[in-house]
């Protein structure tokens, strides 16, 4: 029996990894579109692009994991039924519960693994992503200024740089400033660096020349400088957003009432998020059991097999929809929170009962002498 369970577990895990990898690849590509503009238009380094999109993967993995496990388990047990392996196992006296243990083991393992990912990996990834996103959006020197190109900013300001240096500075600077309608100013410098102030980012240049032409009388003036600065008004760095629910740990979420800075709506949302941190991973267990239960307790024939697969898929979608609906309701009315747990416990109890006690013969009405036809 141990060898049989190992065989089924191996098949389920291979299918799970293939399905998960395929789905995550597709979603990774769609999520990447959010950052394509930063790469093509703003000059975001590819390595930074890969790092940012990779930080989104843990959250996507937790969402996809129950669905992938359902698909993999359904495929493995359906193939075993088609190959008559389940028929042989039943003839050998192996009960449906014993046959479902492999799916149970995988479901439990993935549930505990996802609890770890949900409560440790994802908050850390969300914090790293938000911090990286803030840095990228506010790294004016790299995102606003591309090497060898004129960059037009707001307020009639155009900047050209020759190259970005490894120390974060820029070299070969040319600035055309027409923000003053009376004067046209051109500034060139050997090197410079972006610094941030309370009002706006500032480009500090060294060893350069400032030339100015008065548009009204054509008067020209030139000034050499050792140090000169230009403020980029209207280009203020966005402040790092406050920590959201996804970045908080489980204890902070479940004890949101103690945070006096939160509104009642935020408290409800945080508490629901905390409960989802526990419940969502457990859907790996219930979906693994839902995928195999029907095939193990149903009639072993082609017509019944297709019907069972359809019912299993519909049941999985219904449970998934229930989780979404009840989660939204609980976020508005916290007293409805138990519905989220019922949405998990009822299907789990149904699967366990079917695997342990259900017999197809229970649905066949026994004939009594009164049912016999008169001769």
Of 22-36, 220-234, 327-341, highest mean pLDDT: 327-341
> SS3 of 55, please?
coil
Contact 291, 73 (CB under 8 A): yes
- Least confidently predicted of 61-75, 191-205, 228-242, 246-260: 228-242
What count of other Cβ atoms lies within 10 Å of the Cβ of residue 176?
16
Closest CA to 220 of 212, 209, 228: 212
What count of other Cβ atoms lies within 10 Å of the Cβ of residue 299?
10
pLDDT recorded at residue 44 = 62
pLDDT recorded at residue 366 = 52
- For 39-50, what is the mean pLDDT? 67
The C-alpha angle 220, 226, 231, rounded to 5 degrees, equals: 75
Closest CA to 44 of 62, 59, 61, 32: 32
Scanning the structure block, which residue is given the tokens 């138990």?
Answer: 338
What's the CA gap between 15 and 68, in Å, rounded?
8
Question: pLDDT over 90 for what percent of the chain?
Answer: 39
Can you give the pTM of this predicted structure? 0.73
Q: Which two tokens stand for residue 307?
A: 């019907």
Closest CA to 276 of 254, 296, 298: 254
Q: Would you list the DSSP string of 226-286?
A: EEEEEE-TT-PPPPPPPP-GGGS-HHHHHTGGG-TTS-HHHHHHHHHHHHHHHHHHHHHHH
Q: Which two tokens stand for residue 319?
A: 């449970």
Express each pLDDT in 141-184 by its tens digit.
Answer: 555 666 777 877 666 788 888 887 777 788 898 988 888 888 88
16: phi then psi, degrees, rounded to nearest 5: -60, -45
pLDDT recorded at residue 198 = 63
Express each pLDDT in 333-364 by its tens digit.
Answer: 999 999 999 999 999 999 999 999 877 655 55
Express each pLDDT in 258-290 by its tens digit.
Answer: 888 888 888 888 999 999 999 999 999 999 999
- Burial of residue 33, with CB atoms counted within 10 A of its CB: 0-12 exposed, 13-18 middle, 19 or more buried: exposed
> SS3 of 194, please?
strand
pLDDT recorded at residue 37 = 64
- Least confidently predicted of 15-19, 88-92, 150-154, 317-321: 150-154
- For 83-103, what is the mean pLDDT? 90
Query: How many C-alpha atoms does 22 have within 13 Å on its Cβ side?
Result: 11
Mean per-residue pLDDT over the chain, rounded: 83
């Amino acid at each position: 029996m141990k060898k049989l369970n190992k065989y089924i577990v191996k098949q389920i895990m291979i299918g799970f990894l293939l399905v998960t990898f395929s789905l995550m690849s597709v979603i990774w590509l769609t999520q990447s579109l959010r950052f394509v503009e930063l790469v093509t238009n703003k000059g975001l380094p590819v390595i930074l692009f890969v790092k940012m999109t990779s930080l989104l993967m843990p959250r996507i993995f937790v969402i996809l994991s129950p669905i992938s496990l359902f698909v993999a388990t359904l495929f493995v047990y359906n193939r075993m039924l088609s190959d008559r392996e389940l028929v042989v196992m039943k003839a050998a006296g192996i009960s449906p519960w014993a046959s479902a243990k492999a799916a149970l083991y995988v479901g439990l393992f993935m549930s505990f693994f996802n609890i770890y990912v949900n409560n440790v990996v994802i908050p850390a990834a969300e914090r790293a992503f938000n911090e990286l996103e803030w840095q990228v959006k506010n790294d004016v020197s790299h995102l606003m200024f591309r090497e060898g190109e004129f960059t037009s900013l707001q307020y009639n300001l155009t900047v050209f740089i020759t190259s970005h240096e490894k120390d974060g500075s820029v070299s070969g600077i040319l600035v055309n400033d027409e923000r003053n309608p009376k004067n046209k100013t051109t500034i060139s410098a050997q090197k410079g660096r972006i610094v941030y102030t309370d009002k706006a980012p500032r480009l500090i240049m060294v060893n350069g020349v400032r030339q100015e032409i008065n548009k009204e009388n054509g008067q020209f003036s030139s000034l050499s400088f050792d140090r000169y600065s230009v403020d980029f008004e209207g280009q203020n760095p966005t402040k790092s957003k406050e920590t959201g629910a996804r970045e908080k740990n489980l204890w902070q979420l479940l004890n949101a009432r103690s945070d006096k800075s939160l509104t009642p709506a935020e408290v409800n949302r945080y508490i629901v998020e905390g409960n989802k941190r526990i419940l969502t991973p457990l859907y790996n267990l219930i979906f693994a059991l839902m995928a195999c239960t029907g095939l193990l307790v149903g009639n072993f024939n082609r017509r019944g097999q297709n019907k069972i697969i359809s019912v299993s898929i519909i049941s999985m979608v219904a449970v998934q929809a229930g989780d979404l609906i009840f989660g939204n309701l609980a976020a508005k009315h916290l007293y409805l929170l138990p519905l989220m747990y019922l949405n998990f416990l009822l299907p789990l109890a149904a699967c366990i009962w079917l695997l342990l006690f259900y017999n197809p013969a229970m649905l066949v009405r026994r004939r009594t002498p009164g049912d016999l036809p008169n001769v």
